[in-house]
Amino acid sequence: MVFTMAWCLLVLGVLLPSSYAHTDFFTSIGHMTDLINTEKDLVTSLKDYIKAEESKLEQIKKWAEKLDKLTDTATKDPEGFLGHPVNAFKLMKRLNTEWSELENLVLKDMSDGFISNMTIQRQYFPNDEDQTGAAKALLRLQDTYNLDTDTLSKGNLPGVKHKTFLTAEDCFELGKIAYTESDYYHTELWMQQALKQLDDGEVSSIDKVSVLDYLSYAVYQQGDLDKAMTLTKRLLELDPEHQRANGNMKYFEYIMAKEKESNKSVAKTNDKAEEESKTQKMGPSKNYLPERQKYEMLCRGEGLKMTPRRQSKLFCRYHDGNRNPKYILGPVKQEDEWDRPRIVRFLEIISDEEIETVKELSKPRLRRATISNPITGVLETAHYRISKRQPDGEGQILFAQPLLSLSPHCFLHLSRFP
């Protein structure tokens, strides 16, 4: 359940209505249904275009078949064929009128409807920034749950219903985005996965040369010179004229020669320690808050475990809000989740229909969640915050914010009884 909620928060968001600014679509799942419906509408429009093209080709095909039989008969005995006045008239008519009509049919553009719809919908499309944000969110999910690239690429995520695969091209794009952020750890992981899928025979528009080019450099940046040379040699076997690979190879050989020369004066024990230090991987980026590690452990279910004695003191009850008149006749279902600090789950607070109404009303007001800069005090977005919240008129977060933002940082959880 925890994994599913976190995964949903990392899914691509959709565009705000045209009257709102185009920002951070990847951080919101609140508009996801709108984007799915937009794509569904485009698919329907595309299918209509295909049908129109098929109908057009079917007319042309019938015309060609009819004329093929007619011309075949006419060419066998031209004089005899034209000796019939009707054949002579129809020949003149076809060449003067019907072939012109066929030409107009061939030139007729059946894509007008689809292109028009595409132009209208394009204003709601995500941009490069949104795609990059979604990729970074996926990398954060990978780190948080210690997922290997093969598991992610095969879509084997616990708690997820609709399994989706990542192609070699998808893996390559994730690696490229990590590369642009100088995140060579994730660059290596995803380029390695792309190469693995290509080696397994996957047909892709991405070639091994491009993958190896990124992969070898990412490996080198992490200090593994031997592996970088091995990958570069493989690249040159595929493309001996690759300019950058040839240059890198010469540089690697130069560095290797210098290291061998310097190692001659160092004791063998020191050599071993130096080699281990040299090839040590950088690992995931650590530019996050100190409590991030504990937070990730909690997400993976590796946090504190409640003892049976403490668990026996947790109960379910009907809560009347300390005799609040509103809840005396209709008490709220309440379930203890944790004792210290006390965490409770309220169930069936509002109906499914009311939830949908709240979601629709809150969509236009969703904004990227922010934090206060500890130095300047200015509110700013942070890469580790991936939810959106609804502010009130004064910029404060409303009490009902957990309903509207689906933030993973809330202790109050509303749900239905199983």
- Residue 211 tokens read as 């993958």
DSSP assignment of 16-68 equals PPTTS----GGG-STTHHHHHHHHHHHHHHHHHHHHHHHHHHHHHHHHHHHHH
Q: Find the mean pLDDT for residues 185-206.
A: 95
pLDDT tens per residue, range 98-136 = 999 999 999 999 998 889 989 888 888 888 888 888 888
What phi and psi, each to the nearest 5 degrees, are found at residue 336? -70, 130
Burial of 210 (0-12, 13-18, 19+ CB in 10 A): middle
Q: Find the mean pLDDT for residues 65-70.
A: 92
Q: Is the pLDDT reported for residue 299 higher than 80? A: no
The confidence score (pLDDT) of residue 307 equals 86
Supply the mean pLDDT for the chain.
78
Residue 413 host element (H or E): strand 413-415
Sign of CA dihedral 253, 259, 263, 268: negative
Give the residue among 208, 252, 244 at the shortest CA–CA distance from 226: 252
Give the separation between CA 256 and CA 220, rounded to whole angstroms: 12
Q: Is the pLDDT reported for residue 271 higher than 70? A: no
Give the residue among 345, 335, 339 at the shortest CA–CA distance from 304: 339
pLDDT tens per residue, range 300-352 = 777 778 888 888 889 998 988 888 888 888 888 999 988 888 899 988 888 88
pTM of this structure: 0.67
Give the separation between CA 260 and CA 254, rounded to whole angstroms: 10
Sign of CA dihedral 361, 362, 363, 365: positive
pLDDT tens per residue, range 275-295 = 544 445 555 555 555 667 777
Give the separation between CA 378 and CA 393, rounded to whole angstroms: 18
Give the separation between CA 158 and CA 2, rounded to whole angstroms: 10
pLDDT tens per residue, range 32-60 = 677 888 899 999 999 999 999 999 999 99
Query: In terms of DSSP bridges, do strands 379-380 and 388-389 run parallel, antiparallel, or are they unpaired?
Result: unpaired
Q: Which residues face 372 on adjacent strands? A: 379
Q: Find the mean pLDDT for residues 183-210.
A: 95
Comparing 8-17, 157-166, 327-336, 387-396, the range with the smallest average pLDDT is: 8-17
pLDDT tens per residue, range 373-406 = 778 877 776 655 544 544 443 333 333 333 333 3
